[in-house]
Structure 1
Amino acid sequence: MTTRLARLLALTGYFGLMLWVVLWHTLISPHPDLGIGFMLALWLPWLLIPVKGMVQGNPYTHAWAVYLLMPYFLHSATLLWVDEGERWLAVVELLLASTMFVGNTYYAKLRGRELGLSIRRKKDAE
């Protein structure tokens, strides 16, 4: 995988997931009991945290942003298991989160190597 492809995957997953969260909770399937504003305040801010570093292509931001994906993985996996009505929505969320995860992981690794930021093994350091 090339650095350019990894970055494309990372940004596609990232902005796709951001757009998907907004579409899901406002137009496609708003929660019947909770307001749209509450749902967006619950799901969207986590994706806004790394926006500057993601857009700038900072490999460090790409590396730690994968930790912010856990709620989206858990949410989609739970819905896949328990809710037939929203299963297809969960599949899209899982695909976008997985795309971002793979893209971020490879981009951080490959771009970090290009910049000489790789972590040395203990054996190599001695």
Structure 2
Amino acid sequence: MRKLSLLSNLGLIAWVVAWHAYLSPHPHLNAWAVTIGWTIPLLLPLPGIIKGKAFTHAWANFILMFYFLHALTILYVDEGERWMAAAELVFITAAFACNIVFARWMGQSQGLKLPRLSQVEKEERQRFEGRDDAS
């Protein structure tokens, strides 16, 4: 899953560069400036994804949500770039799913897991009821 995540993220970076620099450069702005602006956020988690850090895989999804919104907006608004937005959406979905699964597997293998909400509520209730009795 780690390799699929890495490939999906690298594919998304390559697609963003190809889209904004070559396939459909912005008509009024410098194409390379736009390309760099769209690529930098995707490069931020890349070192951690390459190293296989579960935490980086998890927070990289927050960055992917920006691109997810972009793809959905273009799908809805711009008829001429719909196929490009659809391709972006495929890369984003694959990266998002692979990041989640990899982070979860790594968390489970390291024994990191969140307690169930019902267990947390039970412990808090016992703690607060114990304080009220002492008062």
Report if TM-score (shorter chain) is over 0.5.
Answer: yes
Query: Which segments of structure 1 move beyond 3 Å, counting only runs of 4 or more?
Result: none
Once residues 94 and 21 of structure 2 are traced to their aligned partners in structure 1, the CA distance between those partners, rounded to angstroms, is 23
Matches within 5 A, 1:10-25: 10-25=5-20
Deviation at 1:13, TM superposition (A): 1.5
The answer to which of 68-77 and 32-41 deviates more is 32-41
Matches within 5 A, 1:60-75: 60-75=55-70
Asked if 2 retains the 8 angstrom alpha-carbon contact of 1:12 and 1:99, the reply is: no
Percent identity, aligned pairs only, is: 43
Once residues 32 and 39 of structure 1 are traced to their aligned partners in structure 2, the CA distance between those partners, rounded to angstroms, is 11
Structure 2 alignment gaps of length 5 or more: 124-135
Q: Which residue is 1:111 aligned to?
A: 106
Once residues 18 and 41 of structure 1 are traced to their aligned partners in structure 2, the CA distance between those partners, rounded to angstroms, is 11
Matched, 1:8 2:24: no
Question: Which structure is higher in RCO with an 8 Å CA cutoff and minimum separation 6?
Answer: 1
Deviation at 1:107, TM superposition (A): 0.5
* From 26, 31, 36, the counterpart of 2:26: 31
Structure 1 alignment gaps of length 5 or more: 1-5
Q: Which residue is 1:40 aligned to?
A: 35
> What is the total number of aligned residue pairs between the two structures?
121
Q: What's the CA shift string for 1:54-78, capped at 9, x where partnerless?
A: 0000001001110001221111101
Normalised by the length of structure 2, the TM-score is 0.83
Q: Which residue is 1:79 aligned to?
A: 74
Q: Which residue is 2:126 aligned to?
A: none
Q: Which residue is 2:130 aligned to?
A: none
Letter in 2 for 1:80: L
Deviation at 1:8, TM superposition (A): 2.8
* From 29, 46, 49, the counterpart of 2:44: 49
